[in-house]
Amino acid sequence: ESGNEYTLESARTSLVRQEDTIIFGLIERARFPINSPTYNQNNISIPHFFGSLLDFLINDTEAIQAKAGRYVNPEENPFFPENLPASVVPHYPFPQFLHPAAALININKSIRKMYLDELLPMFVASGDDGNYAQTAASDLSLLQAISRRIHYGKFVAEVKFRESRKDYEPLIRAKDREALMNLLTSKSVEEIVVKRVGKKAMVFGQEVSVDGDVKGNKYKVDPSVVSNLYQKWIIPLTKLVEVEYLLNRLN
């Protein structure tokens, strides 16, 4: 996927492609109602595990994926990094593009909380159809897609830093978060992203029929929810990762 080098253009191309994964993930999760028992933190019926069915699935899936080498790729960040087993397979020598401090940045706790408290209620119907395991599985792949996108801010920040070192260095030394945020922000790019994801949600989420005419304007996920998700959460959290990364860039 990643090739040998990252540029601002290649990073942006990756973010555009990751939009597709996130929007399809939203469409998949929207097949199920909220299914709230999936998230019950006081679930005491899982043997040897204390926590929700979702956390159980995340924990054990991440363990097997870690053994298979998933987290050797610096683009991936686990939700439960504590006690993750090491990879047991030979792995590809990913280029050391990021500063080593990148490994310390993981905001998946906030992402998980945002997802459960803010995002799910925005696009999922109420109700309970009993498909808790399927619901948790679609939550996990969507969470992984959102997390990958947000933590990709590390790569974006590194590219920007290398392009204008002399602008970033004094702000990093001064620990000036606000100035760093302003310097890395491109309002025009953000506006295009927000518009494009709304449009993709219309294209990907429409009913398609063989006679060519697309039926009605009912979408599998509300396009304005997708735009909102990006505007309110995904872009700001990506920029937060960028700032955190830059603050540690000279350590």
Ligand X SMILES: C=C(O[C@@H]1C=C(C(=O)O)C=C[C@H]1O)C(=O)O
Binding mask 136-175 for ligand X (x = CB under 6 A): --------------------x-------------------
CB-closest chain residue to ligand X: 238
Kindly tell me which residue out of 119, 180, 235, 243 binds ligand X, with binding defined by CB under 6 A: 235
**Which residues is 207 bridged to in the sheet?**
215
Rounded least distance, CB 126 to ligand X, Å? 31
Binding mask 189-228 for ligand X (x = CB under 6 A): xx--x-----------------------------------
Hey, is 41 helix, strand or coil? coil
Residues 6+ apart with CB under 8 A from 27: 204, 205, 220, 221
What is d(CA 68, CA 64) in angstroms, rounded to the nearest whole number?
6
What is d(CA 243, CA 175) in angstroms, rounded to the nearest whole number?
10
**Which residues is 215 bridged to in the sheet?**
207
Q: What phi-psi label fits residue 99: left (phi over 0), alpha (psi between -120 and 50 degrees) or beta?
A: beta
Rounded least distance, CB 74 to ligand X, Å? 17
Count of residues touching ligand X (by CB under 6 A): 12
Nearer to ligand X, 58 or 235 (CB): 235
Nearer to ligand X, 53 or 180 (CB): 180
Whether the CB-CB separation of 89 and 187 falls below 8 Å is answered with: no
Window 10 to 69, contacts with ligand X (CB under 6 A): 12, 15
Kindly tell me which residue out of 41, 164, 182, 185 binds ligand X, with binding defined by CB under 6 A: 185
Q: Which stretch binds ligand X (CB under 6 A): 46-54, 135-143, 188-196, 209-217?
A: 188-196
What is the full DSSP assignment across 187-226?
A: HHHHHHHHHHHHHHHHHHTSB--TTSPPBTT--SS-HHHH
List residues binding ligand X (CB under 6 A).
Answer: 12, 15, 156, 184-186, 189-190, 193, 235, 238-239
